[in-house]
Amino acid sequence: MISIENLDFIYPSGNHALKSINLTVQRGEFVAVVGRNGSGKSTFAGVVSGLVRPTKGAVFINGINTKSKSRFIELRKTLGMVFQNPENQLVFEKVRDDIAFGLRNLNFSDAEIENRIEEISKIMGIEGFTDSFELSMGQKQRVAIASVLAMNPQCIVFDEPTAMLDPKGKKDIHNIVVDLHKSGITVVYVTNVIDEVLPADRIVVIENGSIKDEFKKQELFDNIEKMKSFGLEIPLIMDLLYTLKQKGIDIFVNKWAVNDVADNIYAYIENIKGHINV
């Protein structure tokens, strides 16, 4: 789906923000990108989504080079991007104008646009939203995602989409991302909220503009010390199990949703009870 080859990006100021990046994202994957502030995550998101051109190397989306001018529209339809601040993404006063914007540019008919707005609004739970300025940041982020979804993309790049939201907004948006991935959309998810990496298939660590490491979901728990050495937090639920493990309580977990972990802890306790006959 996405192939990044020997990518470098240098800002006009001379800041060498991305260095020798190679990464492939398969169709249907959920890849989380983590790293400290200033490590290059937003630059990476911009280049991957084709909004910014690589200084060196190339990014291919379904085999199409993001530099290709003749296939620009095809690229825009295939891949969308959601920014940290929804206010940078929404330009109109009326919610429906923002959702319709991309479709109008692609010369969809009014009837098609109406249908699409209705369909997307239902999916995103924003049917009652009319004026952007009346919305909370979390609601605005929903509209921003809706405006991207209207193009029916195969892939969405998210750049810290929950960073500016209150706790409920963060949870809402993150759940929406997980649902979109379940519906088949390929997700590249830049975050510094470490708990948000848990649904990802792979976690890519960026430091000083380079990919420093990459963990599969199943490998994360065994690489906690390494994650810490990158200055990353550990997902709370993993930290709990890791701390228990250091105390000699080794609970096997293969899914990190609270329910699954609770089931495993319960099974562990039941097993002990069986052995000591309480």
Ligand X SMILES: Nc1ncnc2c1ncn2[C@@H]1O[C@H](COP(=O)(O)OP(=O)(O)O)[C@@H](O)[C@H]1O
Binding site for ligand X (CB under 6 A): 11, 13, 15, 17, 35, 37-43
37 binds, among Mg ion, ligand X, none (CB under 5 to 8 A by kind): ligand X
Residue with tokens 């975050």: 191
191 binds, among ligand X, Mg ion, none (CB under 5 to 8 A by kind): none
- Tell me the C-alpha distance between 38 and 47, whole Å: 15
Shortest distance, position 82 Cβ to ligand X, whole Å? 14
Q: Which is closer to ligand X, CB of 13 or CB of 246? A: 13
38 binds, among ligand X, Mg ion, none (CB under 5 to 8 A by kind): ligand X
- Tell me the C-alpha distance between 134 and 138, whole Å: 12
What DSSP designation does 29 have? -
| Both tokens assigned to 260 | 């699954």
Surface-to-core class of residue 12, CB atoms within 10 Å of its CB (0-12 exposed, 13-18 middle, 19+ buried): exposed
- Buried/exposed 79-88: b ≥16 CB within 10 Å, e otherwise: bbbbbbbbee
The residues, ordered by sequence, that sit 6+ positions from 202 with a Cβ below 8 Å of its Cβ are 29, 30, 31, 32, 214, 215, 216, 217
Q: Which is closer to Mg ion, CB of 40 or CB of 80? A: 40
210 binds, among ligand X, Mg ion, none (CB under 5 to 8 A by kind): none
Shortest distance, position 232 Cβ to ligand X, whole Å? 12
Q: Which is closer to Mg ion, CB of 44 or CB of 256? A: 44
Shortest distance, position 59 Cβ to ligand X, whole Å? 15
Member of 3, 10, 42, 213 binding Mg ion (CB under 5 A) = 42
